Amino acid sequence: MRTLNRLLLSDLARMWGQALAICAVLACGVATYTMSATTIRSLEFTYARYYRDYRFADVFVALERAPNRLAARLRGIPGVAAVETRVVRDVILDIPGMREPASCRLVSIPADADSSLNAVHLRVGRLPQPDRRGEVLASEMFAEAHGLRPGDTVTVIMGGRQEELQIVGIGISPEYIYAVQPGQLLPDDRHFGILWMPYRQMAAAFNMEGAFNDAALALRPHASTLDVIARVDGLTRSYGGLGAYTRDDQVSHRRVADEISQLRGMAFVSPTVFLSVAAFLFHLVFSRIVHRRQEEIATLRAFGYRPLEIGTHFLKLLLIMISVGFLLGATAGWYLAGWLVALYGRFFRFPALYDVVAWDGMLIALGLSLLVGLAGGAAAIRQAMRLPPAVAMRPEAPPRYHATLVERLGLTPFLSTVSVMVLRRLERNLRGTLSSVSGMALGVALLVLGSFMEDTINFVIDVQFQQAQRQDVTVTFRETLSPRAQHDVRHLPGVIAVESFRAVPIRLTHGQHSRRVSLMGLAPRPQLFRVLDKRVRPVTIVAGGMTVSEKLAELLGARRGDLLEVTLLEGRRSRHLVPIVEIFRDYTNPGVYMQRQELHRLLREADCLSGAFLQVDPSQLDQFHARLKQTPAAAGVTLKRAALRSFQATIAENLRPMRWMNAAFASIIAFGVIYNCALISLAERSRDLATLRVLGFTRQEVAAVMLGELAVITLAALPLGLPLGYFLSYLATLALDTETHRFPLVVSRATFAYSAVVILAAAGVSASVVRRMIDRLDLIAVLKVKE
């Protein structure tokens, strides 16, 4: 046995290049899988610990105004462990050096800030002093976006007058890991942030002494969330409660959870591709090894080695390659996970990031590696074990000759001898050729998969920011205003057009399903803020019911014509049965719309407005901004162009590294496949090639025989791989489909071209390696030794 083990090493030494190429592909599969698993585990651990240490609440409720004594009654609800009441206000900010206004949310912090729910983690500076006027804590991302430091000041409009606030510290909170302005898709840290202010100061500024307008509740383990919510709703109803909700409906938590679920989806698609290619390569290489070694195997068998001993030998070879691939992959996955977690740490802020290795994920990856390797190598090993020993005694029979397609079609006279050699071999070795083509095609597909997200997001951006939203500015009002307010807004400098809207928080219920959403009342045919369907046609807001996005309808299990229960979470808090009159497909937050006048009737109110969409003359933007900064009625401002820029920056930062990683992995696949095919073909034909050289063919001419083969395989892989990539991308959109985001499948020609170019480049590199091997072909040795 010892000598057989020695043979193992020599086998490996003889085929290390090939072995390494397979290991690399397997490693990519293991790496993408373990990277996702470890990233998910790390993020989950990180936020769970954050939530625990900073006492992130379980139930949230916003209301108009309630006396502080209501807190005691909330605390008395069975299952409630702690209650935190605060004052929360959205205001407009004037930041020195910034022309346009920013929006921010002011959140009160209690005197005993260290033990409160949703506690703030202080990064630098100190907490504001409860009795010092105008001291605030700023959220980290917002402060970073503006280069704000402790000691800097910002101006806000509070309670109708401008006030200077001094930043004394910078912090983060589990409630705002992801701080996105209401109504926005992604965070824009320049234009939206959180400021924390002592309760006493907030109450004084907003005339809320002895009262609160927002509460957070921590539940005891095993408490019934539904019961608590029902009781909270009951207690807050008469104080203008907007309906209690759980973490699932809490914006920040929802986004973090969605991100993790998308990671989970991606943990499936890429590894599947890599592992299939790895299985294919194992199959390819082991079949060829066994074929080329049949004489050696037969000799061993003739001397009395048992089939099991032969099988074990190849199994060991396989296991060594699997182990190397797995170890490489697991290490890379661990390393990449650290990088990815750090990347997430830039978007999601935590007090500390923990790298937690997902050992179970590693174990699964090991199992998958074994499965893939054995699946790929099993047939060849079985063949080796079954090889009759008598083979050793006879010289190898010449392959049976039959006319190939090239000959039957009578093409031979029109092709050069080299072309005929290439085509003949490709056809004779049809199975090998086809499997090489499919392996390459998977590489191409992986590239498409790795890049299509940018196309999709560009499409969403175009639809969202250019075609659907034609306003320049969205202003939301602090309280619903009369149409007079619209009149005021219209007279801001530079305003060309105004379109106002009414938004009400509601709970939509259909059978078992229920969702808390914002119902938007719009004009029947809005011109600035348009609702578009999947063909990018404007959707008319039909009278007589609600117009609902497909995603929301799916979540509610509802179809057109169904009656839904609408619970208004504002004002009268009444319940109504409202039919769905139209379902359309969109790619942003699940939305529900109604004609504004109908919504007013439902609310039994006159023309109350929540905000307005404005079109502003670009030349008067500065004056417009200056005036807006002093408009007390405005609670929030969204500037479309700024939002777009921030969106694109975020996407770029997020997607580019991923794209590079995918390109690297796909190139490894392409290289692995081409390199293996080339080596096998080279090994089988080295005699022929050397003979050609001896006969006087030049190196170039001989190389053309080999490289022609690789070129045909690569070119054939492209038309297969591109549609396959499209299909994989489609699977990915399914995997990425979460409650907050739905992605359309958009793949641009540029992406197809990019994938093709990367594959051609990878093939080119492999070809140059092969070329060098042909140049180094030892003519005498090849012709002397009988293979």
**Interacting residues toward other proteins by CB under 8 A:** 1-4, 6-7, 10-11, 13-14, 295-296, 298-307, 309, 388-390, 392-395, 781, 785-786
> Position 368: which residue type?
L
Return the SS3 of 416.
Answer: coil
Residue whose CB is less far from other proteins, 651 or 782: 782
* Closer of 3 and 619 to other proteins (Cβ): 3
Choice between 13 and 72, CB closer to other proteins: 13
* Cα separation, 276 vs 278, whole angstroms: 5
CA distance 217 to 726: 46
Q: What's 529's DSSP letter?
A: B
Q: Tokens at residue 133, please? A: 């006027």
454, 579 Cβ separation under 8 angstroms = no
Cα dist from 715 to 128, 441, 711, 772, whole Å: 67, 10, 6, 22
Give least dist CB 685 to other proteins, A.
Answer: 18
Pick 309 or 701: Cβ nearer other proteins:
309
Angle (deg, nearest 10), helices 640-694 and 430-461: 160
Shortest distance, position 787 Cβ to other proteins, whole Å: 9
SS3 content of the chain, % helix, strand, coil (to 5): 55, 20, 25
What is the C-alpha separation between 276 and 442, in angstroms, rounded? 9
- Indicate the SS3 state at residue 77: coil
Minimum CB separation of residue 389 from other proteins in Å reads 5
Question: Least distance to other proteins from the beta carbon of 738, Å?
Answer: 54
CB of 309 to other proteins, least distance (A): 8
Which residue number, 307 or 657, has a Cβ lying nearer to other proteins?
307
Distances in Å between the alpha carbon of 208 and those of 78, 116, 204, 222, 639? 28, 20, 6, 34, 30
Asked if residue 169 lies in contact with residue 124, where contact means CB atoms within 8 angstroms, the answer is yes
Cβ nearer to other proteins, comparing 372 with 680: 680
Rg (CA), the chain: 33
The torsion angles phi and psi of 122, rounded to 5 degrees, stand at -85, 125
d(CA 766, CA 670): 9
Closest CB to other proteins among 7 and 731? 7
Nearer CB in complex with other proteins: 391/655: 391
State CA 527 to chain mean position distance: 32
φ, ψ at 685 (rounded to 5°): -115, 10
Please report how close the Cβ of residue 11 comes to other proteins at its closest, in angstroms.
6
Q: Which residue has the tokens 């309906």?
A: 243
Structure tokens at 42: 């790390």
Q: Which residues contact 475 (CB under 8 A, 6 or more apart)?
A: 489, 611, 612, 614, 628, 631, 634, 636, 637
Q: Which is nearer to other proteins, 48 or 781 (CB)?
A: 781
Nearest distance in Å: CB 447, other proteins: 37
- At its nearest, how many Å lie between other proteins and the CB of residue 19? 14
Query: In angstroms, what is the minimal distance from the CB of 396 to other proteins?
Result: 10
Q: Considering beta carbons, is residue 109 or 317 the nearer one to other proteins?
A: 317
Q: What are the distances in angstroms from CA 478 to CA 290, 609, 647, 744?
A: 77, 10, 25, 35
Distances in Å between the Cα of 302 and the Cα atoms of 2, 319, 379, 392 are 19, 26, 22, 7
Burial 698-710 (b: 16+ CB within 10 A, else e): eeeebbbbbbbbb
- Please state, in angstroms and rounded to a whole number, the distance separating the CA atoms of residues 575 and 511: 15
**Residue 3 Cβ vs other proteins, minimum distance, rounded to whole Å:** 4
Q: 758 and 447 in contact (C-beta within 8 Å)?
A: yes
**Residue 487 backbone zone (phi > 0: left; psi -120 to 50: alpha; other: beta):** alpha
Cα–Cα distance list, 119 to 80, 172, 514 (Å): 18, 9, 30
Q: Which residues contact 625 (CB under 8 A, 6 or more apart)?
A: 99, 100, 101
Q: Which is nearer to other proteins, 222 or 786 (CB)?
A: 786
Nearer to other proteins, 2 or 535 (CB): 2
Query: Closer to other proteins at the Cβ: 775 or 787?
Result: 787
Question: What minimum distance in Å lies between the beta carbon of 5 and other proteins?
Answer: 10
DSSP secondary structure letter of residue 768: H
Q: DSSP 3-state assignment of 560?
A: coil
The least CB distance from residue 284 to other proteins, in Å, is: 21
Sign of CA dihedral 303, 306, 312, 317: positive
3-state secondary structure of 778: coil
Nearer to other proteins (CB atom), residue 221 or residue 304: 304
Q: How far is the CB of 786 from other proteins (least distance, A)?
A: 6
Q: What is the smallest separation between the CB atom of 780 and other proteins, expressed in angstroms?
A: 11
Residue among 299 and 748 whose Cβ is closer to other proteins: 299
- Minimum distance from residue 300 beta carbon to other proteins (Å): 7
Of 240 and 307, nearer to other proteins (C-beta) is 307
Q: How far is the CB of 661 from other proteins (least distance, A)?
A: 37
